[in-house]
Amino acid sequence: MGFKISRRRLIKGAGVLGAGAVLAACAPATAPAAKVSGKVTYWHHYTSESEFAGLKAGEQLFAKAYPDAQVESLNIPNADFMAKFTLAVQGGGKPDTTMISSDRVPDMVGMGGLVDLTDRINKWEQKKNFPAKFYDAATINGKMYGVPSFMFVDWMYYRKDWFDEKGVKAPTTLDEMFDAAVKMTDPAKGRFGFGMRGGAGGQGLVVQVIRAFGSPLVDASGKAALDIAKTTDALKWYSELYTKAKAVPPSVTNDSFRQILEAFQTGKTAMLWHHTGSLADVQSFLGTDGAKFMSIPRPKGPAAVVNDVSPSYNGIVDKKNEEAAWAWVNFWGQKDAQIALMEKTGYVPSNSEAAKDERITKNPYYTAAFSALSTGTTAPQFAGQPGWQNSVVLPTFQRVLLGEVTPAAAAQTLAKGLEDAIAGKLK
């Protein structure tokens, strides 16, 4: 799942924010409430080398704090995660703990896959360091199922040096972005204006464009509410970056995270949509001085700026070793662990004490992230959402890119699929 980069580049990426300082940190601020021992299994879907380095740094800190406990981390590719998690919950082989993406909470809770942590969180001394809204996405019917570990803060990277050469300003609207993508495309140099994620994982970006064009996904009662006309306009705008402007690499339908990141790192694309977690990886190739690239908020659509902010959570799946599992889950909500992860990856801490660290507040790359933290949007959540996005949104959009269906026909397919997903009829 992860892509390979050299050890030299990995060390450079890890050191960009002063990595290493926090590894000397001592145990968590408070002593364990109960004896913690035994093995804790943890499922996660980290992707990059920097993320694995951050996980390793956290594991080392945890081992110092809890020498009688052992953590066994298992990487489950994101595309396979829900299928494997569902099988484990229904058929056995559950992990003790797991990483939880916010959009998966309703489905994971619905199948009985997460332990209610409400009482533990309410008694946790660190709870005060998290804005109440950070728990919202992990709360179902008043019960909390996850501890925020870091923030997914969506933003955009652009090649500042290329834009400066052509006298083009960084885009603030989607129309400006389309125009800039055309201007930055230079087939003779093997350059394209935008690295579109049209392969695995690209479904969420399609939905964000639809929201930026003003279409809701569900209404207040939870019923499907996709606006066909606005969805058609959104799919047309997004797909024409490739089908009309040719400002996207021709490999688009196979381009997942690894491909779009490497294309931006190696000078093949001028703009990239991702989140703060890839900052260290980008800097490991393009430097830290802001001369070659910069991060900015996502451009505004016709109806809205969709710059999603959401925590990644950790939760308990199996109660067989609950004290050790809780120690691991709440450990990732604490300042030292979050700073360790930040230094390796660039992920923005969810703990307000960690977010005050000057390694974040004095870093110009985080200006866009802090802007989003205060004004950012939150993706709608509903049961069936991951399945709809994976099995309907992405393959349908790929067919638009390939010229097999029109944006208007695709909008109809998405609307029907959304209704089926919410009704539990999606196969």
Looking at the structure, tell me whether residues 250 and 388 fall in a common domain.
yes
- Looking at the chain, the whole-number percentage of residues with pLDDT higher than 90 is 76
What local confidence, expressed as pLDDT, does residue 289 receive? 92
288 occurs within a structural domain: no
At residue 34 the predicted structure's pLDDT band, cuts being 50, 70 and 90, is: low
Q: Are residues 47 and 19 in the same domain?
A: yes
Tokens representing residue 166 in the block: 């052509």
The answer on pLDDT for 307 being more than 50 is yes
The pLDDT, as a whole number, for residue 2 is 33
Higher-confidence residue: 308 or 2? Answer: 308
The mean pLDDT value for 62-73 works out to 96
Parallel, antiparallel, or unpaired: how do β-strands 143-144 and 293-296 relate?
unpaired
Weakest-pLDDT range from 71-80, 189-198, 376-385: 376-385
148 in the same domain as 11: yes
Q: Are residues 56 and 139 in the same domain?
A: yes
Query: Are 328 and 209 found together in one domain?
Result: no
Cβ atoms 237, 209 nearer than 8 A: yes
Residues 178/241, Cβ–Cβ less than 8 Å: yes
Let me know whether 78 and 30 are in one domain: yes
Q: Do 223 and 358 fall within a single domain?
A: no
| pLDDT confidence tier of residue 416, bands split at 50, 70 and 90 | very high
> Percentage of the chain with pLDDT > 70?
92
- The domain that holds 52 is classified in CATH as 3.40.190.10
pTM of the model as a whole? 0.76
Closest by alpha carbon to 355, among 151, 56, 115, 99?
Answer: 151
For residue 210, give its domain range.
Answer: 197-254+384-427
> Are 31 and 138 in the same domain?
yes
Number of domains in the chain: 2
The answer to whether residue 84 sits within a structural domain is yes
